[in-house]
Amino acid sequence: MPQHDLTPRQCEVVRLISLGCTTEEAADILGLAPSTVDNHKSRAMMLLGTDKAALLTRLAIKFRITSMKDALSTAEKRKSGRKNDGWN
């Protein structure tokens, strides 16, 4: 299994961002301030070796933080106000 040095919270943020959530939506789902989510995202990107947000989903799949079959749960959709996730 590929390895990474992300904290569990950073993995949650990367997963939500890779599913198409905005920083604000991820903050609503996790009950955090948007600035905190942005800090987790920035640190995760640094640890994963990218400064490109567009590569985050690709790396999330590579490191098995998410998968192509992953989707927002019903509760996550409700908290974020989304009807669909990033794969739909």
pTM beyond 0.85: yes
Q: What is the pLDDT of residue 80?
A: 86
Helical segments of the chain, H only: 8-18, 23-30, 34-48, 56-62, 74-80
CATH number at residue 60: 1.10.10.10
pLDDT band (50, 70, 90) for residue 88:
very low
Domain count, the chain: 1
Give domain status of residue 33, yes or no.
Answer: yes
Cα angle 73, 74, 75 (rounded to 5 degrees) comes to 90
33-71: per-residue pLDDT in tens? 999 999 999 999 999 999 998 899 999 999 999 999 998
Q: Model confidence over 3-29: pLDDT tens digits?
A: 789 999 999 999 999 999 999 999 999
Q: Answer whether residue 26 is part of any domain.
A: yes
**Quick check: is 88 in a domain?**
no
Structure tokens at 13: 């943020």
Residue 70, in any domain of the structure: yes
